[in-house]
Structure 1
Amino acid sequence: MANQIPDCFYRVSVKALICDKQNRFLLVKEDNGFWELPGGGLDFGESPRDGLKREIWEEMKLNVTSISAQPSHFFTIKNHNNIFIANAMYEVQLESLNFQPTSECVEIRFFSSADVYKELKVYPNVLAFAKLFEKEPLGSSS
């Protein structure tokens, strides 16, 4: 029997908001061709900052140099697997962008929100974040 998870339960996902000088955000292309926000599911007992460091290393083999103390953006969505996900976006800086390809990251590229809307192969959370980022980009006062 499959687990029946109530709609009020969310998987917590920590995502890295890595921006370039044009205020575009970094996405990673998975080996299935879909673009995703860097980061992933938070393990039980893991802090968001430790989870981001782990996820970025697993995905891209890159070292994190700084992570914001608090999320810059937060949103919930039902993902492509029909699971409710709570996404906490933290501003992250990396030592470099010289990534090593893995199955979770075969390419990296900076996108504007408009670029995301033109891309056919993005996960639902990427579209949701692009809409949010369009309204509340980095450097905007809330």
Structure 2
Amino acid sequence: MENQVPECFYRVSVKALIRNEENRFLLVREDNGFWELPGGGLDFGEFPLEGLKREIWEEMKLKTSYISTQPAYFFTVKNHNNVFIANAMYETRLAHFDFVPTNECKEIRFFSPDEVFAEKSVYPNVFAFAELFQKEPLIN
């Protein structure tokens, strides 16, 4: 029997919004070739900022130097497995970019929204974020 999750339930995912000088945002390429936002699912009882630090370390072996206390973006979307996911994106800075490939993350690269739209191998939440970022970009 397939495990059906009611549409009113969401998996909570904490994501890092890491931008460069050109206001492009960082994506990670997973081992299946798809591009994803850095971060991942929040463990039960875990605080969002701790979960984001953990996910960045697990995925890229990178340490954070700053994570905002409030999400910069919050949006929901069905993922590639047709499961509803709530994405809370926090502005994040890294201590360095000495990326180490892992089983979860093979490559990192900065993208503009237009580059995301042209890329075929992106998850639905990346596409949804690129649309949102294009309409309401953060500018510092």
Structure 2: state its 5+ residue gaps: none
Counterparts of 1:119 and 1:78, CA distance in 2: 19
- 2:51 is the alignment partner of 1:62: no
- Within a 5 Å distance, the mapping from 1:85-104 to structure 2 comes to 85-104=85-104
**Which residue of structure 2 aligns with residue 52 of structure 1?**
52
**Which residue of structure 1 aligns with residue 71 of structure 2?**
71
- 2:113 is the alignment partner of 1:113: yes
Give, as a single letter, the amino acid of the residue that structure 1 aligns with 2:27: L
Aligned to 1:54, the other structure's residue is in SS state helix
Aligned to 2:21, the other structure's residue is in SS state coil
Q: Deviations over 1:19-74 (max 9, x none)?
A: 00000000000111100000000000001000000000000000011100100001
- Is contact 2:13–2:88 with CA below 8 Å preserved after alignment? yes
Counterparts of 1:103 and 1:90, CA distance in 2: 24
Q: How many residues are paired up? A: 140
**RMSD across aligned positions (CA):** 0.9
TM-score with structure 1 setting the length: 0.96
Q: Deviations over 1:70-112 (max 9, x none)?
A: 0000100000011000000000000111111012111100000
Aligned to 1:131, the other structure's residue is in SS state helix
Aligned to 1:56, the other structure's residue is in SS state helix
Structure 1: state its 5+ residue gaps: none
Give the Å deviation of 1:4: 2.0
Aligned to 1:96, the other structure's residue is in SS state coil
Query: Structure 1 vs Structure 2: percent identity of aligned residues?
Result: 71
Counterparts of 2:28 and 2:4, CA distance in 1: 31
**Which residue of structure 1 aligns with residue 135 of structure 2?**
135
Counterparts of 1:94 and 1:121, CA distance in 2: 25
**Which residue of structure 2 aligns with residue 9 of structure 1?**
9
Aligned to 1:115, the other structure's residue is in SS state helix
Give the Å deviation of 1:131: 0.1
Counterparts of 1:5 and 1:28, CA distance in 2: 27
